[in-house]
Structure 1
């Protein structure tokens, strides 16, 4: 029941009725199976008691009970598979919706491996509970209890001996659970680490091969896989004493029943035929009881997986305002913003304003907080102190959907989904017509890319856009932002991965389409900064200078030094 309650917590209460109906059907099937076994007693008693012809009515009753059991088992199996399907869909939707609301700072490399395990193996194990695990577990518990009740009805001594197995079996299972709990948690941790290492090794192939260090990455992955193997081995060994204890207990109880049955027959209290029938009935329950160790072990592992899934679902998402406020414009402002990550202060009491329909270029050395600034404006994180405002309203007081509808973002690392080029562009505005999609693609210089691919607009780009070059991926991302046509645009050196000709074309398109919008661009190139209405120079989490290009050059401060270094790094022809 603990597992069922956990399942309902993870899924949500709307699925409670379906799971309870499935449980009721499975329990009814198990009781019917036990009662059909009970009918073997009069069948065997009459067959071996000297009046075989009297067995026909009992045999008919046994066949009818077996048919009812088969129908209930079929109905419960169908209900279990349907519950598994609903459970899978519900878990994936709830997990996906929750992950989409978590702050980006939550996504550490370790968490990527954890999420991949949760979305894959954990959901599959959860599906197996109603589809494959509950029916044999309920049968292994309810059917023997039904048989014990029948034994008690025929011979109270044998019934008591059978019921005595209940606390013994429960104790053995509890002992196994306590012995394996720590090892199961360690095995799950090693599974997540191994999954993360495999993903890391695959994604890092270009860097590893260029650096000639492929073996290093492979060694780290192999170490994680070896740790996973050892964790599984220790988990299996920790369960062995409980398995042996359960087996010994069940066999001991059956031996006790055998002795009591023989004593009852020898004492004349029960006929030999009835004793034989009762022992056959008891023997039929030995295998289900012995299977309890494996069944509960699997369910215990599933419960641990679901507990980790519930822990993720309990992570606090970015909160939504109880009474959302509509922004009164498209200006941006950061008021004394402080933001910390991993114990380090990235932005410290930073204040900055971007008036409506103006362009701000943000420049500065690596690690100064430029990308974080854009992420806070898009509310990928919440600030630790101060406020980020859009249209004069704190972003925490704006409904997330309304805030996102006002912002288009193009970051340096352009990620594409494993779909077609058109599907990736349409993410900017799914209801856009074909003409708008083609216009955005043309402005982002995507037409040549589409023309060179064999399937054109229907060409799949691969996971992360692996089929396309870096510049082509960025152009898809730019087209996506252009199609969205939001009044606020956040750019991270949007043309940094394009060649000179395409950069010029895309920059011209951006100049035309971004006119009249509020734009914040993280600029790594001087040309980008010079085209802005204002430039903010960040260093150490502070705005150390702000002004136009000419004003900052005249001050001969940090921006002027940055410009000199940038000019010096440009190779002469």
Structure 2
């Protein structure tokens, strides 16, 4: 458990964890020794000279004081360490997630990571602050007491020592039983969470189709399965709790019988037997608490396992000797990319000279967006190479590569905050005049003027308080402020009304001016302005040329163009 915790946290946090463990272990030993001193105290009190108990009582008080100091220091170190480790864990997890390829964020992955980053991290890091001290106390204090019992009566000490492997076996068996039950419960929990999200997101469609009751049955079935799995998980703990309780009671009974036998035989005094039985009774509480602690530790360990799996996922490798491109031309050299078992891009070769515009068109599922995402290295190719300024993107550091590229997505995501804060994401150090100039170029100033809060208007989570066209203008202003030499556009006007489309087009034209551009679009109004057009189908280029050349060819592109003309 501790080893896994250290692996998840990383080597930089090893020292505070070791210090905390050492303090808590010392406190547990001191607690055991304080109980052990009850043996000479009781022996003196029940002997002929009770005054002989005075030095032992003084020693008992001193050990209790040492225990109190050590326990306070250990708990304080645990709470402070837990807080520090929690912040460090969030930082490490965030840094790692930012380096993982976009393809890793598949269906259901975002929800899983959200739960892990929230409840999962808190539960895993609670080990240091809340579970480590009682766990160490439950293990070390009874062992210390058993060692003391061996010193006063090897027979009774040996009898108590025989319980150690039995308790360990019960804990291991219970942990394995819980692991299987918890794995099932986690799977059911994931399924139920997905059903809840599906039910909420699909309300407009379900109500329009009159299918709400049917979908609710699916959700209800999923929740019932979760309830059954949770019940099985709880029942899996019951045999361990009963086994541990019976073992502790059986050992105490055996010690009582053995102590009486030894006392009657004159091998040991009645005072020693009484004191050892007091120690044995004191062992019972921490041992019985192992069931509860073990359950909570197992739950925390399952979260640590999930965190470990995420953190061990290999990010895209960074080059050891990164290069910095000096040009801004683009090239796809026999590029092949596969996702799962499907070939999305199949042997594509094309180039975009610096300052020119390339448009990529084709039917849905042709691989257009994937081709665009290979340039900023959202994925690594399976074969061939993607080059920026003649340099393979795998040989360019992520920071340098992203400095060269501005991306405007079809689905714009804005962070909860003000409009100005979202625009400044393009270049946080930009001056106020530069931010205003970018907003004007993107025609975002029109939006700001009619909003009551102006620049300080909160956009809501994901930009929910703005319309689609307004979000696109923020995104274009952000890209303009970044002032990158390469611009990637992905279906930026596919779902806009005519007024917003005209405003966004104007902003896009200003964004593309003098830059190397790759655009994915269905709207032919944007495509015809490109210097070169490629028609992509099933991951392959089937046609390429200028707008006029492709129209004269009368092929797939011409068919797309004619359909767009008739529908306009």
**For the superposition of Structure 1 and Structure 2, which TM-score range results when normalised by the shorter chain?**
over 0.9
Q: Which runs of 5+ in 1 are unaligned?
A: none
Please say if 1:325 is aligned against 2:346: no
Does the aligned pair in 2 maintain the 1:328–1:393 contact within 8 Å? no
Does the aligned pair in 2 maintain the 1:117–1:195 contact within 8 Å? no
State the secondary structure of the residue aligned to 2:426. coil
Please say if 1:61 is aligned against 2:59: yes
Q: What's the counterpart of residue 110 of structure 2?
A: 112
Query: Which of 490, 493, 497 is the equivalent residue of 1:492?
Result: 490
Q: What's the counterpart of residue 97 of structure 1?
A: 95
Please say if 1:375 is aligned against 2:373: yes
- Aligned-residue CA RMSD in angstroms? 1.9
Q: What's the counterpart of residue 557 of structure 1?
A: 555
Query: Which of 190, 193, 206 is the equivalent residue of 1:192?
Result: 190
**Mapped partners of 1:219, 1:434: distance in 2:** 54
Does the aligned pair in 2 maintain the 1:113–1:193 contact within 8 Å? no
Structure 2 counterparts to residues 3-42 of structure 1, below 5 A: 3-42=1-40
CA offsets, 1:440-495, max 9 Å, x none? 12222222333444433233222211111122222211111111110000001323
Equivalent pairs counted in the alignment come to: 568
Q: What's the counterpart of residue 408 of structure 2?
A: 410
Shift in alpha-carbon separation, 1:305–1:355, aligned structure 2, 3 A: same
Does the aligned pair in 2 maintain the 1:405–1:486 contact within 8 Å? yes
State the secondary structure of the residue aligned to 1:171. helix
Shift in alpha-carbon separation, 1:452–1:42, aligned structure 2, 3 A: farther
Structure 2 counterparts to residues 201-350 of structure 1, below 5 A: 201-350=199-348
Shift in alpha-carbon separation, 1:486–1:221, aligned structure 2, 3 A: farther
Q: What's the counterpart of residue 510 of structure 2?
A: 512
Deviation at 1:518? Answer: 0.2
Deviation at 1:378? Answer: 1.6
**Mapped partners of 2:5, 2:293: distance in 1:** 17
Does the aligned pair in 2 maintain the 1:180–1:239 contact within 8 Å? yes
Shift in alpha-carbon separation, 1:51–1:199, aligned structure 2, 3 A: farther
Q: Which runs of 5+ in 2 are unaligned?
A: none
Relative to structure 2, which stretch is displaced further, 122-131 or 291-300?
Answer: 291-300
Structure 2 counterparts to residues 105-184 of structure 1, below 5 A: 105-184=103-182
Shift in alpha-carbon separation, 1:200–1:93, aligned structure 2, 3 A: farther
* TM-score, normalising length: structure 2: 0.95
Q: What's the counterpart of residue 477 of structure 2?
A: 479
Does the aligned pair in 1 maintain the 2:441–2:510 contact within 8 Å? no
Q: What's the counterpart of residue 430 of structure 1?
A: 428
**Mapped partners of 1:453, 1:196: distance in 2:** 36
Does the aligned pair in 2 maintain the 1:113–1:199 contact within 8 Å? no
Deviation at 1:218? Answer: 4.2
Relative to structure 2, which stretch is displaced further, 190-199 or 98-107?
Answer: 190-199
Relative to structure 2, which stretch is displaced further, 555-564 or 202-211?
Answer: 202-211
Deviation at 1:203? Answer: 4.2
Does the aligned pair in 1 maintain the 2:469–2:500 contact within 8 Å? no
Shift in alpha-carbon separation, 1:209–1:324, aligned structure 2, 3 A: farther
Q: What's the counterpart of residue 457 of structure 2?
A: 459
Relative to structure 2, which stretch is displaced further, 351-360 or 209-218?
Answer: 209-218
Does the aligned pair in 2 maintain the 1:29–1:72 contact within 8 Å? yes
State the secondary structure of the residue aligned to 1:357. coil
* TM-score, normalising length: structure 1: 0.95
CA offsets, 1:346-389, max 9 Å, x none? 11111121111011111111111111111111211111111111
Does the aligned pair in 1 maintain the 2:472–2:504 contact within 8 Å? no
Deviation at 1:181? Answer: 2.3
Q: What's the counterpart of residue 446 of structure 1?
A: 444
Q: What's the counterpart of residue 418 of structure 2?
A: 420
**Mapped partners of 1:48, 1:214: distance in 2:** 78
Deviation at 1:159? Answer: 0.7
Shift in alpha-carbon separation, 1:71–1:200, aligned structure 2, 3 A: farther
